[in-house]
Amino acid sequence: MFPTSDRATYIYKENMNSAERLKVVKKHVIGGAHEPHIHNRAIKGVSQQEERKYKYIHVRTVGKGSNVGYIELDRPSALNALCDPLMLEVSNALDDFESDDSIGCVILTGSNKAFSAGADIKQMAPVAKYADIYKAKFLSQWDKIASFRKPLIAAVNGYANVMAGGCEIAMMCDIIYAGDTAKFGQPEIKIGIIPGAGGTQRLPRAVGKSKAMEMVLTGDPITADEAKQYGLVADVFSAKDLLPKVIEKAEKIAANSHLVTSMCKEATNKAFEMTLAEGLHFEKRMFHSTFATDDRLEGMMAFIEKRKPNYSNE
Instruction: Single out the segment in contact with ligand CAA by CB under 6 A; choices: 41-49, 85-93, 129-137, 190-198.
Output: 190-198
Min. distance of Cβ 94 from ligand CAA in angstroms? Answer: 18
Min. distance of Cβ 228 from ligand CAA in angstroms? Answer: 21
Cα 241 from chain centre: 19
Which of 43, 46, 79, 94 is close enough to bind ligand CAA by CB under 6 A?
A: 79
**Residue 31 DSSP SS3:** coil
Please count the residues of this chain forming the interface with ligand CAA, following the rule CB under 6 A.
Answer: 28
Does 5 bind ligand CAA (CB under 6 A)? Our answer is yes
Catalytic-residue membership of 248: no
Which of 164, 203, 216, 236 is close enough to bind ligand CAA by CB under 6 A?
A: 164
Which of 69, 104, 110, 118 is close enough to bind ligand CAA by CB under 6 A?
A: 118
Within 7-26, the residues that bind ligand CAA by CB under 6 A are 7-8
3-state secondary structure the chain: CCCCCHHHHHHCCCCCCHHHHHHHHHHHHCCCCCCCCCCCCCECCECCCCCCCCCCEEEEEECCCCCEEEEEECCHHHCCCECHHHHHHHHHHHHHHHCCCCCCEEEEECCCCEEECCECHHHHCCCCCHHHHHHCCCCHHHHHHHHCCCCEEEEECCCCEEECHHHHHHHHCCEEEEECCCEEECHHHHHCCCCCCCCCCHHHHHHCHHHHHHHHHHCCCEEHHHHHHCCCCCEEECHHHHHHHHHHHHHHHHCCCHHHHHHHHHHHHHCCCCCHHHHHHHHHHHHHHHCCCHHHHHHHHHHHCCCCCCCCCC
| Nearer of residues 66 and 181 to ligand CAA, judged by Cβ | 181
Does 78 bind ligand CAA (CB under 6 A)? Our answer is yes
Catalytic-residue membership of 160: no
Which of 25, 90, 117, 254 is close enough to bind ligand CAA by CB under 6 A?
A: 117
Does 191 bind ligand CAA (CB under 6 A)? Our answer is yes
From the candidates 158, 165, 166, 196, give the one annotated as an active-site residue.
Answer: 165
Residue 68's beta-bridge partner residues?
62, 105
From the candidates 72, 89, 168, 283, give the one annotated as an active-site residue.
Answer: 168
| Nearer of residues 62 and 117 to ligand CAA, judged by Cβ | 117
Does 74 bind ligand CAA (CB under 6 A)? Our answer is no
Does 207 bind ligand CAA (CB under 6 A)? Our answer is no
| Nearer of residues 71 and 163 to ligand CAA, judged by Cβ | 163
Catalytic-residue membership of 226: no
Catalytic-residue membership of 119: yes
User: Would you tell me which residues interact with ligand CAA (CB under 6 A)?
Assistant: 3, 5, 7-8, 34, 78-79, 81, 117-122, 139, 160-161, 163-165, 168, 187-188, 191, 195-197, 199
Catalytic residues: 119, 165, 168, 188
